[in-house]
Chain A
Amino acid sequence: MTTTVAGLDSVTNDQVTAARATWAAFRRNPLGMVSVGILVVLVVVAICAPLIAEYPSGYGDAVLQGPSGAHWFGTDSLGRDIFAEVVWGARLSIVIAALSSALAIAIGVVVAVLGAYFPKADAVIGTIVDLCLSLPVLPLMILVAALAGPSLITLVLVIAFFSWPEVTRVVRSQALSVVRLPYMDAAKLTGGSSFWIIRKHLLPAVAPVIVVSVVLTASRAVLSAAGLAFLGLGDPNSWSWGRILYDAQQSGAMQSAWWTTLFPSLAMLLLVVSATLISIAYNDARNPRARED
């Protein structure tokens, strides 16, 4: 028993060291650091939206005015300030990203780990995941969102429900290689319960993949949410980046007022590109071979 505990401790210590090494390597990657900076700025903007701009509501006198000192990003077809819309839109976009990716990750990881650990379940789970991955996701999202009616909860559920198979796929392949390692057999020999083994040994081993999945799923969720909002399936009671685009399209302003589409698109681009770069930088930093280069 004592030996086991000592063994566990050393595994834990190893992980701390690995995490430190990863972080050290990550810090040396300028792209990764800039991306983290951008992401932090977006999150801060989302959290502090009320301090940055007044909630865009009602109407303004100057409709479809280009960017100016008074309206940095111009105004939309009802004369509302697009800068304020983008700022407040960050809030909803990031909330949707966070909630739906959290949900998708939770479902995806549980399914993946169970599948990897219990070979019998894996046949069924593998088939379901393959099936889900082959579904035409966007049309199905549109269908479900249209039937359920536009709201924040609908969006989160719809996006999460169609995102978890991707998480499962990535996590499961990593978990499958981990369960074959000798230390997993050793863990089983100690007589620990399956739950304990999964929690203490399997999950930590796949944690890095999960981190990458979180970032990628979240950025994909932002795009899905914007896509649905652009099709009119967003929540009409609050601002999101997709809704700004949708309003621009509906009012026929797209071809004459570039600012109505450029700024919300830039915001999405920043979020998605920085999320992707972070995951790439993280992957590189975590890989000892890449680290040594």
Chain B
Amino acid sequence: MRLRHPLIAVAAVAAMAALGACSPSAPDSSNAGGASDATLTIATTTDVVNFNPLIGNSRTDNWITSLMYPRLLSISADGAKSPLLAKDYGFTNPTTAFWNLRDDMKWSDGKPVTADDVAFTINSILRDKPAGNTTYGQLVNVDSASAPSPTRVELKLKKPDSTVVTEVGFWMNVVPKHVFEPSGNVAKFANDKDWVSSGPFKLTSVAKGQSYTLERVTPYPFAPNNTPVVSKIVYRVYPDINTEILALKNGEVDLIANALPPAQVKNLQGTPGIKVQEIPGLGYAHMTYNMKHPALADVKVRQALAHAVNYEAIRSVVLQGQGVSTGSSPIPPVLKEFADPTSKEYEFDVEKSKQLLTEAGYGPGKPLTLTMIYSLQDAVTSQWANLVKDDAAKAGITINLQGMDRNTYLAKTDAGEYDIYAGNFAIMDDPTTNMALTYLPGGAINYTLVDDPALNSLITQAQGTTDKAAQKQFVQQAAKLVRDNVYDNVMYMQNLYVAHSDKWSGFVVKPSELLSVVDPQSLANAKKS
């Protein structure tokens, strides 16, 4: 599913999965060596804004709160979900979904993690609608959650929704009912002290602008011997990626949580003492054309714009070859279950673009001028925005760049105040849910403001079926509509790289910058040699 926008995209999660999937209850303790007194220091570029995982929307918020509040499911690089807090899940009938939970997880104050906590979290999100909460959008078809037993959660649905269990299971952080309930309204609960965590770590001290210290919590079933290997995690705040890289080189930090700028990857791969780890991408970067704009409502103009982008150059120069084409489809090839390998990317063809513009009534006599917004905090997008502008100029389209501060950008995006929106989604793991949010009228991230009855019908049908083959057909047809009509111009899926000191190993790699090697299971297993 998706997330609300790159940044927004939050999420980090508990990934305990890779191991969890095959041996959920038998932690591998063969050579982990068990607990140590080591401290793992991680660099980040932003402070925690919200300690309440139901509100947060910055990367650091998510990285840190996910170490304290578990998820029901984890995810692998192909979008497949695997058990975490939930042992298994499914539907008892089309409008009743369930998760069965494991019974060996405890909050740090000794109380067990139960189905009651999960049901409370879901019902509170539905009731209080916390700002920027990713799960809220996924709960549209959910009426309520209940806990018939301490290890079973049931969802009552208003109408069939085949993706709700996996999506909510992956995106939602479960919070302790006994801590959050007394606040009355979870959307207003600051949760900024006396944290109660289910592990692997718990915040113990905060020095704003400097560091966040977390200490080990036991038992944590996804670490060797139920005990996270390192005793402490310290997140240190640096002004930008340059200072982070310097700090890593000097040995001040052991790991940089932020993905490396593409042009720095090669450089760091050749630096002694530093190991660069590839993180598979699971989202995409795109431009959407605001269909409320009279020119952009014309499919010919959108196609002209799509033909005026040199996708190959963006991937080879800006991304240094670290990007993968999706064939202009919103289903990236990594989602093998759903991807349509026959989808063809729009060709970079200035003449064709000019011809389409002429057919649409634009040309030298009636030039087309558009504005494009993007977030200045998004370095990669800021770079390719310039290439897009230069190439569009060759086709006679003037694009005025409006790079802006992230908050202004989000506000403009929400208000629909742009001609072209450029940005990216960190995780688009499930085409059905993604498309519902991206292309249905009123969808939380429908930045094209598209409302096409044919597309709406395909997406709704995909949501209504639990038959994988039928679902695949619906989403592939929908993706084709999106591509052919340029309801979305998906440019690439980026594989990321993070750097850490070569003294550390044992990290578990998860897709996207949100999970990467900083998700809970990975940090619980990291060890110093």
Q: Does A25 make an interface contact (CB < 8 A)?
A: no
Is B261 a contact partner of A251 (Cβ separation < 8 A)? Answer: yes
Q: How many residues of B contact A (CB 8 A)?
A: 32
B494 to chain A, nearest CB (A): 15
Contact of A78 among B376, B383, B404, B405 (CB under 8 A): B383
Q: CB distance A146 to B385 under 8 Å?
A: no
* Proximity bits, A64-77, B CB within 8 Å = 1, else 0: 10000000000001
Q: Is the CB of A79 within 8 A of B317?
A: yes
* Residue numbers in A under 8 Å from B405 (CB-CB): 146, 232
Given A57-B390, A146-B405, A253-B385 contact (CB < 8 Å): no
Question: Is A256 a contact of B261 with CB atoms below 8 Å?
Answer: no
Tell whether, in the assembled complex, residue B382 and residue A58 are in contact, meaning their CB atoms are under 8 Å apart: no
A216 to B: closest C-beta gap in Å: 30
A16 in the interface (beta carbon within 8 A): no
Question: Are B385 and A59 touching (Cβ within 8 A)?
Answer: no
Does B376 lie within 8 Å of A63, measured CB to CB? no
Q: How far is the CB of A238 from chain B (nearest CB, A)?
A: 10
Q: Mark interface residues in A206-232 (1 if CB within 8 Å of B CB, else 0).
A: 000000000000000000000000001
- B240 CB within 8 Å of chain A: yes
CB distance from A255 to the nearest CB of B (A): 5
| A59 and B313 contact, Cβ closer than 8 Å, known pairs A146-B408, A149-B402, A237-B400 | yes
> A251 to B320, Cβ gap below 8 A?
no
Q: Is A249 an interface residue (CB 8 A)?
A: yes
Known A79-B317, A254-B242; judge A232-B403 contact (CB<8 A): yes
In the assembled complex, A192 has its CB within 8 A of some CB on chain B: no
Indicate if A288 sits at the interface (CB-CB under 8 A): no
Q: How far is the CB of B250 from chain A (nearest CB, A)?
A: 11
Bound-complex Cα distance A57 to B379 (A): 17
Chain B residue at minimal CB-CB distance from A61: B317
Tell me, yes or no, whether A250 is within 8 Å of chain B by CB. yes
Which residues of A sit under 8 angstroms from B245, Cβ to Cβ?
252, 255-256
Within 8 A of B (CB), among A35-84: 57-61, 63-64, 77-79
CA distance A107 to B240 in the complex (A): 38
Decide if B400 touches A58 in the complex (CB within 8 Å).
Answer: no
Whether a CB of chain B sits under 8 angstroms from the CB of A236 is: yes
Contacts of B385 in A (CB 8 A): 236
Task: Assess whether A250 is in contact with B261, with CB atoms less than 8 Å apart.
Answer: yes
With a cutoff of 8 Å between Cβ atoms, the chain A residues found around residue B379 in the complex are 250-252
CA distance A63 to B318 in the complex (A): 9
Task: Give CA–CA (A146, B261) in the complex, Å.
Answer: 25
> What is the bound-complex CA distance between A251 and B266, given in angstroms?
13
Give 23 A-B contacts (CB < 8 Å), ordered by A residue: A59-B387, A60-B317, A63-B320, A64-B263, A77-B383, A78-B383, A78-B387, A149-B402, A236-B386, A236-B403, A237-B389, A250-B382, A251-B264, A251-B379, A251-B383, A252-B241, A252-B261, A252-B263, A253-B242, A253-B261, A255-B246, A255-B249, A256-B245
